[in-house]
Structure formats: C-alpha cells, structure tokens
Amino acid sequence: MGWYLFDTSAYTHWNDLPEKWLRYRREFEAGRSRLILFEALVFEAAAILARSPGGEGAATTMLESILRSPMAEYRRFEPKDLIQASFVDGRLKSRKGYPRPPLSLVDRLCLAHASELKARIVTTDPGLRDGARLLKIPVDWIAAF
C-alpha cells in the first residue's frame, strides 16, 4: 500500500478535482493508499477554504471528513519537524538546480514528511516538484487547475 502526500491545492479543490487528480483520490477512498496530512498543511488549506463559498463551515466539514478516514494519517507539529525542514533546505541548497524562489515552510515540511515515510508527493507546484526530484523523492506533477 502506497503513501501519498497531496499539496494544498488538492485539498482546496477536493470536491471538484479534475479527472487527472481523481485517480489519487479514488485510491485513497478505496483504501488502496494512505494519505499523510500534517498541521501546517491542514492550516494552509483551511485558511484558503475559509475564504471560499461556504466559508469556515464548509472548510471544517470537508477537512474533517478526510481526517476521519482510517486511511489518513494526521501528524501533529513537533519541534523536530522544523529541524527536518531546515535539513531539507540545506540538502537542496547544496545541489545545482535548487528551486527559485525558495520553497515555503509548508513545502519543505512536505518534503521532510514524504522523505521520512517514503511517500509520493502529488503537486501542482513546480518548485515543490523540482525540490522532490532533486532529493529523489517520488513526485507526480500535475499542471495547475
């Protein structure tokens, strides 16, 4: 069974994902893959969703339905996460082709968690894609919505 780590855009479009994203969501919902979520990622998605039609109530309902799934692993923030994110940043900066502009903290945390759990990142962010490739983390890049 594989692990997926979706970027923020997957959650902000969860109820209207385009066909090219549905394979990943269907695998998760069918119990054939697990989904990793962590506090900073959920925070970022919730902040964006709260400004959408339906507001905070719809954001809460949607994110809680994902988090309740037995196939979702929710990781609380721990101080070691910042240390791991800084190590990711250091490993990226030492390689030619480091993504510019620099990755956000959430993107670096995505790379750290995916690396630790051997998860595949699914993203629309070319910087996150390039960072994953440089660190040899499996990544599927799907052009933006």
Q: What tens digit of pLDDT does each residue of 32-58 get?
A: 999 999 999 999 999 999 998 889 998
Greatest extent of the chain over all pairs of C-alpha atoms, in Å: 44
- CATH number of the domain bearing residue 121: 3.40.50.1010
What range defines the domain where residue 110 resides?
Answer: 2-141
Q: What tens digit of pLDDT does each residue of 71-82 get?
A: 999 999 888 998
Task: Give me the number of domains the chain comprises.
Answer: 1
- Name the pTM for this structure: 0.88
Q: What tens digit of pLDDT does each residue of 110-124 get?
A: 999 999 999 999 998
92/7 Cα distance (integer angstroms): 19
How many residues comprise the chain? 145
